[in-house]
Amino acid sequence: MNYITLFIFSMFISLFLTPLFMNISFKFDFLDIPKEDRKVHRAPMPFLGGIIIYISFLTTLTIQTKYVDKTHFIIIVSSTLILIGGIIDDIYPMKPKSKLLIQVIAVSILVFNDIYIKDIVFFPGGQSFSLKILGIPLMFGWVILVTNAFNLIDGLDGLAAGVSFISTITIFLISILSGNFSSAIFSSILCGTLIGILPYNFYKAKIFIGDSGSQFIGFIVSVISITGFNTINGEFLILIPIIICGLPLFDTLTSIVRRKLKGKPIMQADKGHVHHKLISMGNSHPKVVIIMYLIAVVFSVIAIGMVLSKKIVFLSFIFICILFVALLVFMLDIFEIRKK
């Protein structure tokens, strides 16, 4: 099956399953009830979207066998554990340490099966560095960080699903350019799955993807980036996955710094995320989501440009990215300096 067929197949599975799981959510009371002030929705909302994403993704992946091997089986097993942990967290909110433990176990499954970051290069045509055993802690840090970053950005209707689609379609394009067809299969399927559920998840949402969905997406994105973010010469550029996941990582890392500056626990939820900042500036709910889509697109364009460029142009893109991040920090007053 070609990529377009996989995309369409997974999209229609999501479109078909979403109304079904919405009914199941209301029947069995699987609803997100807004009890916290930081939540922007006010009515109980079905949160089984993560299961829809998982079923659509897994079903479509298994109907084609060309690029499904032991490695992909291990990825599916570990991502299933992430999904289960997310479902439990959606129904019975878990403590951060418990969530982290599940993520550590999931990454351990990958590492024990020899799936981790082994060699990196910083510039196109640059020297390749063998990480050896250092690649293992880097793998844990990368996967856990990205998994939680996509989870934390899930704060508005359609935000996490849309940003994830932009990241995933970029993975697909880079995978095609660099000849990573296995990664292209994974990303094309995930793209279709996300497009299928997005009409129901966008403002005003009829279903949430929940922690199960956002963590599952982040986990898959983080893992396939190990093989998907290469140059056309096959070099693994460590900066590419960081930039393509730029918006979720920016939101997460700046939140950690902001809370540390305020003397608050870094795991304590607040209303200082990027989408909260944009809403406080007077933007409507859907406008904020569109703005954040555009921010994600800018990061993706920079990443694709870096993949296609030579060293000098590559450095120029890094400079542009730094300026863009600095502009976001200033315009949104991320660290709330102007308030002081």
* Tally of CB atoms within 10 A around 92: 7
Given this model, what pLDDT does residue 65 score?
A: 61
Question: φ and ψ at 132, to 5 degrees?
Answer: 55, -125
The one-letter amino acid at 78: S
| The residue type at 225 | S
| E-only strand ranges, 98-243 | 119-120, 129-130
Token couple for 65 = 């066998």
Integer Cα distance of 68 and 76 in angstroms: 10
Q: Is 339 helix (H, G, I), strand (E, B) or coil?
A: coil
pLDDT digits (tens, 9 = 90+) for 122-142: 877 777 788 889 989 999 999
- How far apart (Å, rounded) are the C-alpha atoms in residues 19 and 44? 16
Q: Which residues contact 195 (CB under 8 A, 6 or more apart)?
A: 7, 11, 14, 165
Residues 228-253, mean pLDDT to the nearest whole number: 79
**Helix ranges (DSSP H) in 92-209:** 96-112, 135-152, 159-178, 181-201
- pLDDT exceeds 70 at position 206: yes
Side-chain-facing half-sphere of 304: CA atoms under 13 Å: 18
Q: Can you give the pLDDT at residue 268?
A: 76
| Section 230-257 average pLDDT | 82
Contact 231, 307 (CB under 8 A): yes
User: What number is the average pLDDT over the span 98-117?
Assistant: 94
pLDDT at 226: 78
Q: What is the pLDDT of residues 37-76, one digit of tens each?
A: 555 555 678 888 999 999 999 999 888 766 567 888 899 9
- Percent of the chain with pLDDT strictly greater than 70: 91
Distance CA 108, CA 102 (A): 10
Q: What are residue 236's DSSP bridge partners?
A: 230
- State mean pLDDT over 199-213: 92
- CA-to-CA dists, residue 188 to 11, 31, 194, angstroms: 10, 30, 10
- The helix or strand, by DSSP H or E, that contains position 45, with its residue range, turns out to be strand 45-46
pLDDT band at residue 148 using 50, 70 and 90 as cut-offs: very high
Q: Is the per-residue pLDDT at 233 higher than 70?
A: no
pLDDT at 34: 67
Decide which of 308 and 161 is more confident: 161
The predicted pLDDT at position 188 comes to 94
DSSP codes of every residue in 234-269: --BBTHHHHHHTHHHHHHHHHHHHHHHHTT--TT--
Report the predicted TM-score, pTM, of the whole model to 2 decimal places: 0.92
**pLDDT digit string, tens, across residues 266-285:** 877 778 899 999 999 999 99
Give the helix/strand (H/E) hosting 142. Answer: helix 135-152
Count CA atoms within 13 Å of residue 150 on its CB side. 34
Q: Buried b vs exposed e over 23-44: b needs ≥16 C-beta within 10 Å?
A: eebeeeebbbeeeeeeeebeee
